[in-house]
Amino acid sequence: MRFAKYAVWTLCFSLLLPGQPATDSADTYEYGGQDLTPKERAGRNTWYFWTGGGENFWRLTAKITHGITDMLQYVDSRKRPERFKIMGVMNDPDCAAATQPDEYGLWMDVCKPVNIPGIPSESSGVVGLRKFKNPKFDRFAWDVKKYLADPATVEPPYLIGMTCGFCHIGFNPLYPPKDTENPRWYNLSGAIGNQYFKEGTLFGLKMKPEDFRWHVANTQPAGTSDTSRFAADHIFNPNAINSIVNLANRPSHPEKMADGTTRQVHHILKDGSDSIGTAGASLRVYVNIGMCSDYWTTLHDPISGTKFPQKPFRIALARKDCADWRATEALMEGAEAFLKTIKPARLQDVPAGAALLSTDTALLRRGALAFADNCARCHSSKQPPAGTGDPAAWYRAAVQQPDFLDGNFLSDDRRYPVTELGTNIGRAIASNAIQGHVWEEFSSQTYKDQPQLAPLQGLYNPIKPDKPLKFLMPGGGRGYYRVPTLAGVWATAPYLHNNSLGLFNADPAITGRIAAFNDAMEKMMWPEKRLGTKSVWLTTEDSALPLESGYKLKVRKGTPVALFANIDAPRMQLLRNDNFFTRFFGWLIGRGALTGVLLRRNLSPDFVVDRGHTYGSTLSDVDKRALIEYVKTF
């Protein structure tokens, strides 16, 4: 009898080990959704499978770039055995690698049919990328060799569209895959944010190191997305992909809209510029990944961003003329309902994780008090009631309550000036949401009316380190970061808005995530351990930046990537005309001269990417260690 009880206990324990959840639907995309309402279930399907018609934009991108960015070649099935390693994407568990080309000579994953009510398309083999039949395909004109050489020459049989899940579905921290190239559905989490995604491989598919743009793509940190790549604001500002958890507990704030009304809204993007409500923010994402591209691409030059200035996207016009907008807008209520069901992964929820948590109650209490004194002002949605005489005492009492973390978004969702935070300014000064620019109608008047910040002094000068840079901060709403949630933060290192702080080990196992967490938190608490000026992204060999005129501007090895990637390209007209002066100017730059001109025309001359956010760094070492242990429990 004792043995029998032991065997039963062992079986139950094994079912709870990472990679082995006890559920009957663990091998379907519906894993974890047994208790969803019909609305939430429909919202999950929207999140996982709806592209909003964006497949047409990605076809246009393949033609404009002549295959440098081509979704169809990106999902080539021969890459499946190393997709995660090379591209950081999730292989669809319902698919397998092709053993031969299909009838059109293309290598496409072989996928199990999965019927998604109301959502056409089938899996491409990559989670979040969906395959459609191309209505413009002509079987008799098709030539696979011509297509692979240059996608602009012939229409392919398929189009590939992108869903929200492409960036946001990642490995489940509590049930990581045994084989990262062959996950099962229970190894995936719907909205943690894919911290392993290498966006540079998507936009630099056929680039070589002799092309400067390859260095831009190659230095972009994993797990980030440059959301102003389209439409271009000419600032290389990759940001960490959001982890969406505890949405039902997310604070909202009153924001004045363009029509003069005031609404309670969340701040979505890193700079808080998406400030007209969750549905509006979600719709902007769909436009950014291709929805309504027939209209959207008339408002800006979609690839280089230099041919003509941006014009604002008019929501009323899109709602009137774009069927995909109307169809997507109708789905947003369900998508929001689904996202509100998602809770953070906590180490205590599985034995392998709980074993890594401290059981020293005195240490954890010390860490909680350190959190109250140094972090809770921004990183708690539970705030002192109005009129509280001593907020510091209130926080210290609150963190000692057993329910402090329950329903706590672990952020106040407010915007704070980058001059206070001290972090790299790249994302904070993105311009697409200011008045007159493409996303004007997706930002509130409150955002646009934020005070212009004082000039930044003492920025690191990578060309002449002994002569720090001064930068006049732009206005119109720019210069602020919203506070991210710390829920499940043990699983989402590296940190800061650009994933620049801490070790990236590409290891989704619990122990691997904790190793990354510990390293990032050490660097957060002890700033002297950071890379500092060694964090500047540099070119690794001589390269050239191709210009519209056909001239290639030489870039020397060891050049800061941001020196060229943040150029105010539309105003640098002299670099767009192929004449003697341009070639002479380019020759001087190629020899390392005239870099001061580039610095003066740089939209974000902030080259150190892991600086700032030094809160807690003045604590004693004992308090720092205690704080790290406490944060690990979030």
Q: pLDDT (tens digit, 9 = 90+) per residue, 68-97?
A: 999 999 999 999 999 999 999 999 999 999
Alpha carbons 37 and 20: distance in angstroms, whole number: 25
**Which of 173, 631, 171, 164 minimizes the C-alpha distance to 408?**
631
Alpha carbons 571 and 552: distance in angstroms, whole number: 18
- The enclosing H or E element of 347 equals none
pLDDT at 581: 66
pLDDT at 21: 63
Residue 36 has pLDDT above 90, yes or no: yes
- Give the list of residues 6+ apart from residue 466 with CB closer than 8 angstroms, or none: none
pLDDT at 548: 74
Q: What is the mean pLDDT of residues 242-263?
A: 96
- Radius of gyration from C-alpha coordinates of the chain: 25
pLDDT at 23: 53
pLDDT at 592: 65
Q: What percent of the chain has pLDDT over 90?
A: 85
**Which of 120, 57, 52 minimizes the C-alpha distance to 328?**
52
Residue 25 has pLDDT above 80, yes or no: no
pLDDT at 601: 87
Residue 168 has pLDDT above 80, yes or no: yes
Alpha carbons 196 and 91: distance in angstroms, whole number: 13
**Least confident piece of the model among 259-273, 282-296, 585-599:** 585-599
Three-class SS state of 447? helix
Alpha carbons 328 and 292: distance in angstroms, whole number: 11
The letter for the amino acid at 76 is: D
Three-class SS state of 516? helix
SS3 content of the chain, % helix, strand, coil (to 5): 35, 10, 55
Residue 18 has pLDDT above 90, yes or no: no
Question: Which band of pLDDT confidence, cut at 50, 70 and 90, is reported for residue 568?
Answer: confident
User: What's the mean pLDDT when you consider all of the chain?
Assistant: 93
- Give the list of residues 6+ apart from residue 632 with CB closer than 8 angstroms, or none: 347, 356, 357, 358, 490, 514, 517
Q: pLDDT (tens digit, 9 = 90+) per residue, 518-536?
A: 999 999 999 999 999 999 9
Q: What distances in angstroms separate CA 306 from CA 21, 232, 290, 301, 323, one per listed residue?
A: 51, 9, 19, 6, 29
Backbone φ and ψ for 328, nearest 5 degrees, come out as -70, -40
CB atoms within 10 A of CB 299: 17
CA atoms within 13 A on the CB side of 502: 30
Where b means 16+ CB within 10 Å and e means fewer, 478-504 reads bbbbbbbbbbbbbbbbbbbbbbbbbbb
| Contact (Cβ atoms closer than 8 angstroms) between residue 142 and residue 122 | no
Report DSSP letters for 376-398, one per residue: TTTS-S--PPTT-S-HHHHHHHH
- Give the list of residues 6+ apart from residue 279 with CB closer than 8 angstroms, or none: 329, 332, 333, 336
Q: pLDDT (tens digit, 9 = 90+) per residue, 324-373?
A: 999 999 999 999 999 999 999 999 999 999 999 999 999 999 999 999 99
pLDDT at 17: 43
pLDDT at 553: 84
Residue 15 has pLDDT above 60, yes or no: no
- Give the list of residues 6+ apart from residue 381 with CB closer than 8 angstroms, or none: 249, 250, 251, 408, 409, 410, 411, 412, 413
